[in-house]
Structure 1
Amino acid sequence: MTTPTTQERTTVPQGLVIAVDGPSGSGKSSVCRRVAAELGLAYLDTGAMYRAATWWCLEQGVDLTATDDVAATVRDMVLEMGPDPRFPTFAVAGHDVGTAIRAGEISAAVSAVATNLEVRADLGARQRRVIDVETGPEGFSRGAGVVVEGRDITTVIAPDAPVRLLLTASEEARLARRAKELHGAADARAIEATRDQVVRRDRDDSTVVDFMTAADGVVTVDSSDLDLDQTVAAVLEVVRRLTVDAT
């Protein structure tokens, strides 16, 4: 990925918050990292926070169906996040968990933690603190702002963000992308092996937050027929329209 110079970057207002929601396999992480790097913003993957919380609970031997125990364990979790979009990092209690939280075991279990309302409240407060830091002078972005992606960012975490997007794609496209990511292929067998992670997790998470339908004021970007570069360009165009052109 080439990094644009300061002169080449699109100029956006200081303290910009870009909130992005969407289902599994819609391309949120790849697109948001590219957009953040292009604009010189920090990056926060809130889904990774729920994965880190799941890893920590399993590491502590907590039964994920014991909702109070899970909430208490997550409240005590020491989570450190590096918001550089080129090299985002996650550490729990000093352990680098960037790779561990992407394991199949975590993917299969994360919905049990992500649908815990007390956990959502705790991690939501942490996410808002990151936004506050990154829109001030002490953050990684030196006040330029942050791209935050997840499932409830446009409606719960940053409902007043000047740029709010729902990044979506057809189920077929999302399954194919996630199959390539996990299995290196998008044939029928790989897609079927991926279906549970994508479809079941979206169904489970939909019980606590609606991330399949754009709320009022949220712009939808459908990436079903777009590659990564085209999707990044489409998102940047929305950002430009809502910030630069709006002034």
Structure 2
Amino acid sequence: MQTDPAPPAPDQLVVAVDGPSGSGKSTVCKRVAAALGLRYLDTGAMYRALTWWALERGTDLDDADAVAALAVALPLELGQDPAAPTVRVAGTDVSAAIRTTRISEAVSAVAGNLAVRAELVRRQQALVAPGGVVAEGRDITTVVAPDAPVRILLTAREDARLARRAQEVHGTADAAALAATRDQVLARDARDSRVARFLDAADDGVVQVDSSDMGVEETVATVLEVVARLTGVRPAVGAAR
């Protein structure tokens, strides 16, 4: 009698999640990682950290070679506890600094540098390789971890994404906040889509989850159901969601 294979051990599981700005990737992935007892890797934070480092050093972001050289030497440390992820550059905690408008408006120039992407993807793959991680970003399902047992595109309608980001950045989703947020969300997605495919499912192996009409709890539950269906791995009893 043939039996189904045992689910992978949590410390070997890789959950790869891509999606546009405002789709809820960071919040959902941290909750999923906590529920499954996995590490949390925010690859976008790596591009933001390099952007911060370049600006602090007065490097011209349009100087592709100079920025690529900085990427190779970047003294980056990532804390991967989903309850309290941290980002440190040269010993300085930049977890808050890399989320400022200054960095958000500049990061696409760095993320679009192909030599930078090659270096940071190399680092990301080294962090993902041991398993036991939920990794989120723009090209996780296609480049960083294309063989991950769970690959998800987390998306949402434009209006929902704009409202979420406006609420996050401005504390409100009124007309003025939406207008102020539009370029940061839509223009950045357009720029980043030139080098990473994250606006639609890349192939049949990627599961699309639309969070437009779902709250955080429902979206987390949906992602956990996808993980369980594909791998048999479920949250431990009493695990946080």
TM-score by length of 2: 0.92
Give the secondary-structure state (helix, strand or coil) at the position aligned to 2:23.
Answer: coil
* Distance in 2, Cα, partners of 1:215 & 1:34: 25
Q: Distance in 2 between matches of 1:65 and 1:24?
A: 23
User: What SS does structure 1 have at the residue aligned with 2:55?
Assistant: helix
Percentage of pairs with the same residue: 65
Equivalenced residues, count? 225
How is 1:67-216 mapped onto 2 (pairs within 5 angstroms)?
67-133=64-130, 135=131, 145-216=132-203
1: CA distance, partners of 2:196 / 2:139: 6
Distance 1:185 1:78, change over 3 A: same
Shift of 1:13: 3.0
Q: Distance in 1 between matches of 2:73 and 2:202?
A: 33
Cα offsets for 1:123-163 (capped at 9, x unmatched)? 00110111124x2xxxxxxxxx1000000000000000000
In 2, the alpha carbon distance for the partners of 1:35 and 1:131 equals 16
SS in 2 for 1:90: strand
Q: Distance in 2 between matches of 1:195 and 1:168?
A: 17
- Tell me the SS of whatever aligns to 2:129: helix
Partner of 2:214: 226
3-state SS of paired residue (1:65)? coil
The Cα shift of 1:75 comes to 1.1
Tell me if structure 2 keeps the 8 A contact 1:57–1:74: no
Task: Note the C-alpha offset of 1:12.
Answer: 5.7
How much has 1:38 moved relative to structure 2? 0.2
The one-letter code sitting in structure 1 at the alignment partner of 2:188 is R
Task: Show structure 1 runs of 4+ deviating over 4 A.
Answer: none
SS in 2 for 1:85: coil
TM-superposition CA deviations, 1:90-116 (whole Å, max 9, x none): 000111000000010000000000000
Report the AA paired with residue 229 of structure 1. Answer: E
RMSD: 1.1
Partner of 2:4: none
Aligned to 1:55: 52
1:189-225 deviations in whole A, cap 9, x for unaligned? 1100000100010000011111001011100000000
- TM-score computed with the length of structure 1 as normaliser: 0.89
Which residue of 21, 25, 28 corresponds with 1:24? 21
- Unaligned residue ranges in structure 2 (runs of 5+): 1-6, 234-241
Match of 1:13 among 9, 17, 24: 9
State whether residues 166 and 219 of structure 1, in contact with CA within 8 Å, keep that contact through their aligned partners in structure 2. yes
